[in-house]
């Protein structure tokens, strides 16, 4: 009796398994038995396509039965000259919108990418990540502002606005020529007002750098843009602030800033 029950249970299990495979859809995008029974030739073609890496077209109710569809193309990222996909691309421009060719840009993190701008100021970084920070690697240039602009196709293009860099060096003294320590020196120039309409929207109103004088009244400001209207302020509590224009040849001329005490006259 028990042997008979075991045989009946085994037969029922076999029938259940057979029914499952007969009515099931494709497993892992492979070949379903019910498909083969209904259409042996079509199922064989779908199975061969699956093994070759192609994806069957979507059928009714989300099934993957029917004619074969071509594999989806890769995302529309720009390509560099070598045919590699570039994750980051864009243009490098000056304030007036003119391109800057021959400039080396880089994305140090999280993955190193380096490229050189072409005649139109365009670049593509094939080794960069989309969330990379874009920097100018060429010596003597500084970034005034940057923004990612998304085209109607959804592709992001970075715009970097740059200027040639310069340094200012000089001294702050009182009216008697004595150095003033810990005076604040601020160099600034307007940007938004001097930029083209296309670039003004994402640039700060002005670019500035500041520092303090040492015991000798000496100061140095690096990475300043070589632009018109660059101004230098010097100030310290108890003194009347002073402002002057940057020298025409800052690499050859020291900046001299003289502060007078508030109330007139210098007290020793």
CATH number where 131 lies: 2.60.40
Please state the separation of Cα 59 from the chain's center in Å: 40
What is the span of the domain harbouring residue 198? 166-261
Calpha distance 167→130 (Å, rounded): 33
> What are the tens digits of pLDDT across the range 106-153?
887 666 678 999 999 999 887 656 566 788 999 999 999 998 877 666
Task: Output phi, psi for 242, to 5 deg.
Answer: -135, 150
Does one domain contain both 151 and 215?
Answer: no
Looking at the structure, tell me whether residues 187 and 101 fall in a common domain: no
Is 72 among the domain residues?
Answer: no
How far apart are alpha carbons 93 and 114 in whole angstroms?
18
Contact in structure between 107 and 132 (CB atoms under 8 Å): yes
CA distance 166 to 159: 22
Distance CA 82, CA 140 (A): 29
DSSP annotation string for 7-25 = HHHHHHHHHHHHHHHHH--
Q: What is the pLDDT of residue 26?
A: 43
Q: Identify whether 69 is part of a domain.
A: no
73 lies in some domain:
no
- Domain membership flag for residue 266: no
Shared domain for 11 and 44, answered yes or no, is yes
Number of separate domains in the chain: 3
Could you tell me the pLDDT band of residue 249, with boundaries at 50, 70 and 90?
Answer: confident
pLDDT, tens digit, 9 for 90 and up, residues 185-240: 999 999 988 899 889 988 999 999 999 999 999 999 999 999 988 999 999 999 99
Per-residue pLDDT, 107: 80
% of the chain residues with pLDDT over 90? 46
152 vs 62, higher pLDDT: 152
Give the pLDDT of residue 96. 92
Confidence check: pLDDT of 97 > 80: yes
Q: What whole-number distance in Å separates Cα of residue 184 and Cα of residue 172?
A: 9
40 assigned to some structural domain: yes
Dist. CA 158–CA 77, nearest whole Å: 13
pLDDT of amino acid 81: 41
Asked whether residue 267 is assigned to any structural domain, the reply reads no
- The C-alpha atoms of residue 33 and residue 15 are separated, in whole angstroms, by 14
- Across 68-73, average pLDDT: 29
Residues 156 and 172 in one domain: no
In a domain, 198, yes or no: yes
- Kindly state whether residues 93 and 131 are assigned to the same domain: yes
């Amino acid at each position: 009796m028990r042997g008979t029950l075991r045989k009946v249970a085994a037969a029922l299990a076999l029938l259940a398994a057979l029914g499952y495979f007969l009515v099931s859809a494709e497993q892992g995008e492979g070949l379903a038995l019910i498909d083969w029974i209904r259409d042996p030739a079509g199922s064989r073609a779908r199975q061969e396509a699956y093994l070759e890496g192609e994806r069957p077209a979507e059928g009714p109710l989300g099934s993957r039965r029917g004619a074969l569809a071509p594999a989806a193309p890769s995302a529309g990222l720009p390509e560099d000259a070598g045919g590699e996909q570039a994750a980051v691309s864009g243009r490098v421009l000056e304030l007036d919108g003119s391109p800057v060719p021959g400039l080396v840009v880089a994305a140090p993190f999280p993955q190193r990418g380096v490229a050189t701008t072409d005649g139109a100021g365009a670049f593509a970084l094939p080794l960069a990540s989309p969330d990379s920070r874009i920097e100018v690697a060429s010596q003597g240039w500084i970034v005034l502002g940057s923004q990612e602009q998304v085209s109607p196709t959804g592709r992001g293009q970075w715009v970097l606005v740059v200027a040639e860099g310069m340094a200012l060096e000089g001294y702050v003294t009182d009216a008697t020529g004595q150095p003033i320590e810990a005076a604040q020196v601020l160099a600034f120039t307007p940007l938004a007002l001097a930029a083209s309409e296309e670039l003004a929207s994402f640039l700060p109103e002005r670019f500035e750098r500041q520092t303090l004088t040492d015991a000798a009244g000496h100061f140095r400001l690096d990475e300043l843009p070589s632009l018109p209207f660059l101004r230098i302020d010097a100030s310290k509590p108890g003194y009347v602030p002073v402002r002057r224009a940057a020298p025409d040849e800052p690499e050859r001329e020291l900046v001299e800033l003289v502060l007078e005490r508030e109330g007139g006259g210098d007290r020793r």
